[in-house]
């Protein structure tokens, strides 16, 4: 798919991986709708990115809110070709910690935001993409979901997070198979340790220590490197039904 003619929606688009993705798509000529819960960050992002970008406040765990935000984005851009889900939470918590057993509500919220939220965005986007005329390859849209290396080698304290991201990996292939008849591709990215706003708040020494855990390059991943992979997925029609680790060959230790 030619990025120059695309209309994209990016959740978590006001910061981190989502904002980097929005910048890359816009630089390639796309129009982009930023979907995020943080209205202040969203307004600041749109002020930076210009008139080809718009902001739509949304809680991805709410089906009605997602449907409304995707609908607004489609109306503004005249359609939707690409959907990238970057919204998520990653708070660590042990099942049995010093403050007692993990509350079920903690697990439930993690799954609702990271897994259910990704599904809600993807199915709303797919419904909009299904109305697109196919391109020369018969393609109508591309859905990119974000998992994590924690889906495969989660650490102590990541039971909830790993479960939510493992669910994203698990639905990638069946979603791609189901949407194939509509000409919609589905690919998931599983990032390793990236310099997101959460990690950016750590001292430089802590960031360097985390980076050294990566075999090569021995540093934290950069959001623009995530965005480059999104671009490649959009542009390469043979990428479909796959989860791609973007991690510098790291395999996480138990803790």
Question: Which residues are marked as active site?
Answer: 161
Torsion sign across C-alpha atoms 15, 39, 148, 139:
negative
Question: For residue 169, which of 146, 185, 153, 141 has the smallest C-alpha distance?
Answer: 146
Contacts of 141 (CB under 8 A, 6+ apart): 80, 81, 82, 83, 125, 126, 128, 129, 130, 132, 182, 183, 184, 185
Q: How far apart are CA 124 and CA 105, in angstroms?
A: 26
Q: CA triplet 121, 70, 190: central angle to 5 degrees?
A: 30
| Residue 36: its H or E element | strand 31-36
Contact 151, 171 (CB under 8 A): no
Peptide bond connecting 217 to the previous residue in cis, omega within 30 degrees of 0: yes
Question: For residue 72, which of 124, 15, 20 has the smallest C-alpha distance?
Answer: 124
Which ranges of the chain would DSSP assign to H, the alpha helix?
16-27, 39-49, 63-77, 104-111, 117-129, 150-153, 159-179, 197-200, 204-211, 223-235
Please give the structure tokens belonging to residue 224.
């623009």
Please give the structure tokens belonging to residue 148.
């994590």
């Amino acid at each position: 798919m030619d990025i120059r003619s695309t209309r994209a929606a990016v959740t978590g688009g006001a910061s981190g991986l989502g904002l980097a993705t929005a910048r890359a798509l816009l630089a390639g000529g796309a129009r982009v709708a930023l979907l995020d819960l943080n209205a202040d960050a969203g307004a600041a992002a749109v002020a930076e990115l210009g008139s080809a970008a718009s902001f739509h406040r949304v809680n991805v765990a709410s089906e009605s809110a997602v449907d409304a935000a995707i609908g607004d984005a489609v109306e503004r851009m005249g359609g939707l070709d690409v959907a990238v889900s970057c919204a998520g939470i990653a708070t660590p918590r042990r099942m049995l910690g010093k403050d007692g057993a993990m509350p079920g509500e903690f697990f439930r919220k993690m799954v609702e935001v990271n897994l259910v939220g990704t599904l809600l965005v993807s199915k709303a986007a797919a419904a909009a993409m299904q109305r697109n005329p196919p391109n020369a390859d018969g393609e109508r849209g591309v859905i990119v979901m974000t998992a994590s290396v924690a889906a495969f080698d989660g650490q102590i304290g990541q039971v909830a997070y790993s479960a939510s991201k493992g669910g994203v990996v698990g639905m990638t292939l069946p979603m791609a198979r189901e949407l194939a008849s509509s000409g919609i591709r589905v690919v998931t990215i599983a990032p390793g340790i990236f310099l997101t706003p959460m990690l950016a708040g750590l001292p430089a020494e802590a960031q360097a220590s985390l980076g050294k855990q990566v075999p090569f390059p021995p540093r934290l991943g950069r959001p623009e490197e995530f965005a480059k992979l999104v671009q490649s997925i959009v542009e390469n029609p043979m990428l479909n039904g796959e989860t791609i680790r973007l991690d510098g060959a790291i395999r996480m230790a138990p803790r």
